[in-house]
């Protein structure tokens, strides 16, 4: 007689309940999963009005949300979603320990490179999984997450190893909550694949004066700059041992054309005066590429421009 598969019953914590954490945690909670949110800024509003997810294909409200001011109030969990901006990674050294038990999994949904390594160094490599979120989201107001595309998907993988049974269990939690989710054999390869989009469009949106993806594509010189950056990232990935075909650039451009006037998340951070994830999205890929012998003139220029803009704004803020 075939053994019956027992569905997991994970106790889940969400650390970083902005657009990404709020959306994916909200999806799982809406479908009955046991989800607990760390919400420091939006705590009062979410406790009063709940959490709303709205977009082209859904408009749902989660009236009762398990939300807390500290991870100590949440306590040990089976699975932790980490969706903080990478600029706040040092905060994880205090936020994560109260959530841990012997077999707690840490799933980082953050952008860029180096996040799995950070978690592995401080909490153990055996705990770490990574997730890549291919979705257009925006936190419109406290407790309100808007989705701009009609699709979206999530790719999960294990840090520095092949997928395990637990990886598929976590993916199933997402799939039975209405999220398109797949498991990747090579998480590092998928990280580079996502950078093919993140590096040009998040960066050019800022350095070109605060414009959306539609405006970038509408200007020939910016479209060409985006393609040049994409080609560099693909070449760098291959130099670093991750086989990305050149066709990825065309795929990403076609996907971008369907987004319309979408503001990348880093541009929104810039407009709100928040620190930019410069090192994770641009700095670390650049350093790894150069170490592998790749030439990256376009990325080097973009990285310098973003650092200068970020520093200029920081100095203005310090003087005011």
**313 contacts 273 by C-beta, under 8 angstroms:** yes
Residue among 27, 101, 175, 194 flagged as catalytic: 194
Mark whether 101 is an active-site residue.
no
Neighbouring CB atoms inside 10 A of 219's CB total 14
Sorted by sequence, the CB contacts under 8 Å of residue 292 that are 6+ apart come out as: 236, 239, 240, 241
Neighbours of 247 (CB within 10 A): 9
Return the beta strands (E) in the chain as ranges.
11-15, 34-38, 51-54, 59-62, 67-68, 79-82, 105-108, 128-134, 137-141, 144-147, 153-158, 181-183
Sheet hosting strand 153-158, strand order edge to edge: 67-68, 34-38, 11-15, 79-82, 105-108, 128-134, 153-158, 181-183
- What positions carry a catalytic annotation? 194
């Amino acid at each position: 007689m075939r053994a019956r598969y027992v569905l997991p019953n994970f106790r889940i914590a969400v650390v970083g309940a902005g657009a990404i954490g709020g959306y994916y945690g909200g999806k799982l909670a809406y479908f009955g999963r046991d989800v607990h949110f760390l919400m420091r800024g939006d705590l009062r509003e979410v406790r009063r009005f709940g959490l709303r997810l709205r977009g082209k294909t859904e408009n749902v409200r989660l009236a009762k949300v398990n939300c807390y001011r500290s991870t100590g109030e949440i306590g040990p969990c089976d699975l932790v979603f980490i969706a903080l901006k990478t600029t706040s990674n040092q905060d994880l050294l205090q936020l994560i320990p109260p959530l841990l038990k012997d077999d707690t999994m840490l799933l980082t949904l953050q952008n860029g490179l180096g996040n799995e390594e950070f978690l592995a160094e401080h909490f153990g490599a055996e705990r770490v999984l990574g997730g890549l979120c291919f979705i257009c989201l925006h936190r419109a107001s406290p407790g309100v997450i808007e989705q701009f595309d009609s699709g979206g998907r999530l790719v999960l993988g294990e840090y520095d190893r092949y997928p395990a049974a637990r990886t598929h269990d976590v993916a199933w939690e997402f799939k039975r909550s209405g999220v398109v989710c797949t498991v990747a054999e090579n998480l590092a390869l998928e990280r580079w694949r996502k950078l093919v989009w993140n590096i040009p469009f998040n960066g050019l949106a800022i350095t070109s004066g605060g414009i959306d993806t539609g405006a970038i594509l509408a200007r020939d010189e910016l479209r060409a700059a985006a393609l040049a950056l994409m080609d560099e990232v693909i070449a760098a990935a291959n130099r670093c041992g991750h086989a990305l075909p050149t066709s990825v650039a065309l795929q990403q451009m076609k996907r971008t054309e369907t987004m319309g006037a979408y503001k990348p998340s880093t541009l929104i951070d810039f407009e709100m005066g928040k620190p930019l994830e410069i090192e994770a999205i641009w700095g670390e890929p650049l350093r790894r590429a150069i170490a592998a012998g790749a030439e990256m003139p376009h990325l080097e220029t973009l990285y310098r421009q973003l650092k200068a803009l970020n520093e200029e704004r920081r100095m203005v803020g310090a003087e005011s």
